[in-house]
Structure 1
Amino acid sequence: MVILDVTIVNVALPAMRAGLRLDAPGQQWIVNAYTLGFAGLLLLGGRTADLAGTRRAFLAGVIAFTVASLVGGFATTGGPLVAARAVQGVGAAFLAPATLALIMRTFTEPVSRARAMGAWSVVTAAGGAVGAVVGGVLTEYAGWRWVLFVNVPIGAALLTAALLYVPAAGGERGGARRLDLPGALTATAGLTALVHGAISSETHGWGSPRAWVPVGAGVLLLAGFVVIESRVAHPLVPLAILRHRGLAVANPLVMAMSGAGFSMWFLLSLHLQQNLAFSALQAGLCFVPGSLAIIVGARIATRLVARTGPRPLIVAGMTLSTAGFVGLSRIGAGGGYAGQVAGPFVLASLGFGLSLMPAMVAATSGTEPSEAGLASGLVNTSRQVGGALGLAVLATVASHTTAARLVRRPHELQQALTAGYGRALLTAAAFTACAALGALALPGGRGRNP
């Protein structure tokens, strides 16, 4: 449900923009408000799962997500919709770490854990595939509001299943009294300010105070967070956990992957509907081959990670994604989907499928069961912050390239938009190339020896 709500909204963005009379920054905020709430509270959500119990965190996340989906579906202006998306992100911040923590506590043997993580990755990819198609169908035939309403029955079913089947175990007694509130507040405020400043850069430019003041404040708050964590008795993030080499290296890798991956779906959705004049349904169907490629890559990674370890799979996957992004960067205003988009898109997606689960394994292997929620919260924070920062940077690259092209050729809007998307996708190739190189620093041990 968490991943579905990214892709399902991407396909519906043009309809939302037209229905609510939003400008381009408002359109991006529909995506980024979700990411902002998600990224800002993931550390708190992960630690809450450890201290207050995974079931409580899971239930709180499902309830918040479901109620926000219902409210957002009734929005008549952009403000309430963006606010509802932010609350969805808050719910996801508690829900996502709880799911990984449940897997890590249930499957303790390395091979079975790798298989469980592989299943989690496949479900994640399936959520992307279902979201793209369902989003297109709902937007085309029922209206964009139903891309939010669809979460209500799903959330109700999850709530019932969690009450029946998720055990009330892990920190359920008195854990909340030991929650590091100063650390939680500074981490949340710092991540939120950092992401907000990056998002604002697309509209105002990096030289504007509206961009660099929040970024500077975010950096200072995060520095203060590190100081707090080194001094309090029960820190939100015990700094000793960063001594795990896999976790320390995997987090920046996940940030780079997500920065490229989130942006790919966003940029291609706009290219297909704005430049190639595809309907929402057609655009959704165009995303299916990439989603299936992610599933195939995840299945391959699941079979191999116990024998090879995460490192070679991430290197290979990010190399494939780099080649795919280079191909996507060559899209032209007159080119079609089959000739210019499909092949490189599938290649890039296959690389993400090969890399995602091994990166999660690398980040969480070697941590104690009591740190499961925290480790998954850290890696999910890297994923969401990386996605938000990457989208902000690449959207800025696209908009500035388009603007520069229009200055020279003011009557070639479609060509200018395509040039902007191509330049942004080439920048994404640099992200994945850096991830491929950075993966060489991961421990070389196999999955059986995390």
Structure 2
Amino acid sequence: MTTPHVAPRRGALLLLAATQLLLITDTAIVNVALPSVGEDLGSGSAGLSWVANAYLVTFGGLLLLGGRAADLLGHRRVFLGGLGVLAVASAAGGLAPGAGALVAARAAQGAGAALAASAAFALLLLLFPDGPARHRALGAFAAMGGLGGVLGTVLGGVLTDLFGWRSTFWLNVLFAAVLALPALRVLDGRPGRLRPGGLRPGGLDLAGAATATAGLGLLAYALVGAAETGWLSARTLTTGGTGVALLLAFAAVETRSAAPLVPPAVLARPALRTANVLAALAQTTLFPMFFLVSLHLQSVLGSGPLGGGLGLLPLSLVVVAVAPQTGRIIFRIGLHRAMTLGFVLLCAGTLWLALALTPDGTFASTVLAPSLLIGAALPLVMVTTNVAATAEATAEETGLASGLVNTSQQFGAVLGLAVLVAVAAGRTEAVDAARDAAETAGHRAALLTGAALAALAALLSVRLHLPKPAPVP
């Protein structure tokens, strides 16, 4: 017989997984609409790139602060606040009169998404204690992430063609409202660890919050702009160096703060540090792979934007099929082996994809089979790294653990895209051949780099050892 708390937990999981779907879909849907944005607003390629990048900068910079704020202010409160900011910013994007206003709206969207994402993940950790139930819940998150990338690409093409690019922003407003209403009923409304009357002295590490957010934001700004200005440009070196300096200042602040944003004792846990590095490495390979496959299908094989998105559909269907089974795989072979298996499959699939690419091939002959293998690997690496990164978190640290692993994944994605796109561009320029052959060589070089990073992660995963849980007295 079903226990009384199971139905509410299922409702909450459905809501939180739908939030993950919204956030991943939003990232992809706007990218498809960018050419239409440029035509309508008269923006050049540099301006258009920051319509996408402004979101990444604020999202990456605020994840850690959002997670800690959820612990202190209340997870549902921060979750609803994030959805509210996302909805208002999306409406501003839909009404934006020019490129500058649209970039500002995208930055605000990223801020709202960071708050909602950190709080949603923390709520999942609270609802499902470490064990098989959490593994299944994280599998649902992974499935929604895989589905969101393709759904965003497809919806972006359809909505832009039928109703114009502004409709992609108004869709966010609708989704955020639909998610906010049931959140009041199914999510835990406990107020957090700060008193309702306001922030008690020392309750929030303001110096740590300022240095961490500014440091992460500047580092993200440097990484996403490196492809445009160059890795050794003055802007990249200045913003990146300032970001690193602020993060070093943040580390110094945390050792002296009475209530640190990230307690040094948490970062002293070897398993947590290794798991976050592995989470970043996973995204360093995965996120650019989606971009490169879609780019190859369109620029080399001649597919349209919609065809480029649909080319990733088989991969996403495999993710949706495998993700719910990840908990059983972990139970049967153990977390450690499941993680290593995932990275081995990711390395093999990415290597296969790189070697299969040809300038005169077809989707079926070059992309389909290796993408299915990558689809099986994705939920394994995502679920296992999330489990490992949050296994030692107490109830008071769920937002912090969420912020840390989300930040690791976001910066892995941003760094991977910046590095692998630079590898692809450099190899393309170096090859003296027809355009399609040169671009294929560039895509192959980037994917081979991604496979090498996945191999490094597989080796590092062997060294991950989670502490055994203390015996129950």
The one of 116, 127, 142 aligned to 1:121: 142
Aligned match for 2:367, one of 332, 337, 341: 341
Residues 305-314 or 374-383, more deviating: 305-314
Tell me the residue number matched to 1:310.
Answer: 335
Inter-partner Cα distance in structure 1 for 2:462 and 2:46: 37
Which residue of 2 is the match for residue 273 of structure 1?
A: 298
Cα distance in structure 2, aligned partners of 1:76 and 1:415: 41
User: Contact (CA 8 Å) 2:130, 2:391: kept in 1 or not?
Assistant: no
Comparing 429-438 with 36-45, greater Cα deviation is found at: 429-438
| Residues 298 and 356, structure 1, Cα contact 8 Å, conserved in 2 | no
The alpha-carbon deviation at position 310 of structure 1 amounts to 2.4
Give the residue type in structure 1 aligned to 2:128: F
Contact 2:139 2:325 in 1 (8 A): no
Cα shift readout 1:137-176 (whole Å, capped 9, x = no counterpart): 2233333332222111111111212223322213252574
Query: Cα distance, 1:444 vs. partner?
Result: 5.7
What is the identity, as a one-letter code, of the residue corresponding to 2:225?
S
SS at match of 2:462: helix
Q: Contact between 1:136 and 1:285, CA under 8 Å: does it hold in 2?
A: no
Q: How does 1:14-413 map onto structure 2 within 5 Å?
A: 14-108=35-129, 110-169=131-190, 170-171=192-193, 173-174=195-196, 176-177=199-200, 178-330=203-355, 331-405=357-431, 408=432, 412-413=434-435
Answer yes or no: is 1:414 the counterpart of 2:440.
no
Change in Cα spacing, 1:358 to 1:34, as seen in structure 2 (3 Å) is same
TM-score relative to the length of structure 2:
0.88
Counterpart contact for 2:126–2:398, Cα < 8 Å = yes
**CA deviation string 1:75-127 (max 9, x = no partner):** 35433333222211111111111111111212225222222222222233332
Runs of 4+ residues deviating >6 angstroms:
445-450
Mapped to 1, the partners of 2:193 and 2:154 lie a distance apart of: 39
Give the CA deviation at 1:7.
2.5
The SS at the match of 2:358 is coil
1:377 deviates by 0.5
What is the one-letter code of the residue matched to 2:253?
Answer: I
Q: In the alignment, which residue of structure 2 is the partner of 1:5? A: 26
Q: Is the 8 A contact 1:139 1:281 kept in 2?
A: no
The change in CA–CA distance for 1:375 and 1:449 in structure 2 (over 3 A counts) is farther
Superposition deviation, residue 299 in structure 1: 2.0
CA distance in 2: counterparts of 1:445 and 1:306, whole angstroms: 17
| Residues 140, 281 of structure 1: 8 Å contact kept | no
CA shift for structure 1 position 340: 0.8
Match of 1:306, as an amino acid?
Answer: F
Q: State the SS of the aligned residue for 2:424.
A: helix
In structure 2, do the counterparts of structure 1 residues 109 and 271 end up closer, same or farther at CA, with 3 Å as the change threshold?
closer
**RMSD in angstroms over aligned alpha carbons?**
2.3
Q: Which runs of 5+ in 2 are unaligned?
A: 1-21
Q: Tell me how far apart the structure 1 counterparts of residues 104 and 54 of structure 2 sit (CA, whole Å).
A: 7
Give how far 1:241 is off: 0.8
